[in-house]
Every structure is written in C-alpha cells, then in structure tokens.
Amino acid sequence: MLDFHGIDKRFGEQVVLRRLSLTIPAAQVTFLVGQSGAGKSVLARMAVGLEHPDAGRVVLGDEDLTRLDAAGWRRARRRCQLVLQQSALLDGLSALENVVLPLRRCLGLAHSAAVRRATELLELLHAAHAATQLPENMSAALRKQVAMARALALEPQVLLYDEPTSGLDPVTARRIDGVIRDLAERTHLTTLVVSHDLRSLAAVADRVAFLHEGAVHFVGTPAELFASRDAAVQAFVGAARPHTTLY
C-alpha cells in the first residue's frame, strides 16, 4: 500500500536517511521505531508531502508521490492522512466542528449530512460526548481522538500517527493504544505508527520496522524484535526496558 524506495534525506550536513527502503503492508498496523533523530517522523511526513526526499521514491498504491504537483498532493492527502503529535485541532471550533470542516470543504457535503457523518466518526472514536467542547477544554487523549476522527473524515486508505502517546501519562497512553488498535481492526486501514513507546508497540503492532543509522535495520513482529540478538536492536530495547513493562 505504501512503499519507500531508496530514500535519501539530509538537513544541511546531517544525513538522516540513507538509501532507505520499506514497504508498509495493507490492512496491518506497522510501528516505526528507533532512537531520537533516526528519521522516523521525517519518513512519515514524506507520505503526506510535509517533507520531500533528496533521492528515491515514495509510492502510494500505484502513484509515485515524489512526482506530484500541488493539485496531485491535494488528491493524495485524501488517501493518506497524518495525525500529528500535538493533534493540531482548530482552537476556535468545537470537536464536532473540527470534524465537519473537511467534510464540508473537501468532500462538499451539505451541512446536515456533514454533521451526521462527523457525529458517526466521533462515536467510532469514543468521543461523541465531547462534540460541543473546544480543544482547550479537552484532555490530551480526547484531543487525539477528535484528531483521529477528523483524519478519518476524508476516508483515507492509509492512516499515519506521529508519536500518538508522547507526553501522556501511562493510563492515558494505554487508552490511546486501545483506540488505535480498535480502529485498525474495525476499519482495516493500513496504519503506520511512529513511536518510541515499546508498551504501545507490544499492545498494538502487527509488524515493526527499526531504523538505525539512516536505514531499516530490522523488520519483523514485536515478539521477534524483543527476542532479537542483534546488537543494535538489543541496545534500543534494553535502554527502554528500565522505564516500561512490555507485557
């Protein structure tokens, strides 16, 4: 569904990605992990045009995203949506209005139809009770749930999450894990989660890709990651274990 082919990316003198290739399979939850600065978020942002590779191709289905013009990117972003780490809701709009907006502006739904669909999406994300709340009055978890509902409004084929549990307390983080897993199972969306949270990985992922020194160093199941004898994988997993219980 989503393929990265031979991706190079640098910022000034800093080389972030080197000839990286990775396939994100359809209808599975893939976690992208690695140390800070490994290029995880940069790679995800390439799928929605917020970053661009210096070399290589990003392919969504059968469409080469690296060749798109502005109009092409507008179409592609309907197929691939990114839920940002800070949720990025519009402060002056309620939860319902945040979800209605793309339905009206991008899909052209009439107001009544958009409200019905937005309400359905908030219910799917267990956030219908917050329909009239403004973002400033929502918990961090609730803001993420509303952002997920807004992302689903355009009926994407691929849903990306950038550090969805970052900054959350453990109880709230596990609640978001449950929402992500439940949504993936109910919609069969292709899902890519950028994360450093190994408890989330253990609870949610079907598959995990570990980035190291600018390339994909490991791909497998969570169990295979935790059992790996590879030195780089062991160092990454071992560094996290004092701070979390994986199972």
Query: SS3 for 204?
Result: helix
Structural domains in the chain, CATH included, are 2-197 (3.40.50.300)
Distance CA 74, CA 92 (A): 24
Residues 6+ apart with CB under 8 A from 34: 40, 196, 210, 211, 212, 236
- Phi, psi (degrees; rounded to nearest 5) at 64: -80, 105
pTM as predicted: 0.90
In tens digits, what is the pLDDT along the chain, a chain of 247 residues? 899 999 999 999 999 999 999 999 999 999 999 988 889 999 999 999 999 999 999 999 989 999 998 888 888 888 999 998 888 999 999 999 999 999 999 999 999 999 999 999 999 999 999 999 999 999 989 999 999 999 999 999 999 999 999 888 899 899 999 999 999 999 899 999 999 899 999 999 999 999 999 999 999 999 999 999 999 999 999 876 544 444 3
Please answer whether residues 41 and 82 qualify as being in contact, where contact means their C-beta atoms are separated by less than 8 angstroms.
no
Distance CA 80, CA 67 (A): 16
Q: What region does 87 belong to: left with phi over 0, alpha with psi -120 to 50, or beta?
A: left
Q: Are strands 80-83 and 158-162 parallel, antiparallel or unpaired?
A: parallel
